[in-house]
Amino acid sequence: MPLVQIGDVGDYLTLDQKQELIRRVTDAVVAVEGEGLHGVTWVTIADIQPGAWGVGGTPVAADDLRAMAAAPTSA
């Protein structure tokens, strides 16, 4: 049975966003591995305390992620 584990900075995603992420990740897994595994595909989301997650030596908090998500992307 497929198991997908996602780490997330706590307080970044709402419960509704987490549930949508679970649905979409499950759909992606079964699109590759087969619809027969839909009922046995596990997706977990572990919230990591803000500030206890870092990138490039710098702690990251939910507000940092919100700023990155809102920033325009370069093409």
pLDDT tens-place string over residues 3-54 = 999 999 988 999 999 999 999 999 999 999 999 999 999 999 999 998 898 9
Smallest CA-to-CA distance from 28 within 45, 61, 59, 20 is with 20
CA separation for the pair 69, 63 (Å, rounded): 10
What pTM did the predictor assign?
0.83
Smallest CA-to-CA distance from 10 within 74, 69, 63 is with 63
CB 4 within 8 A of CB 42: yes
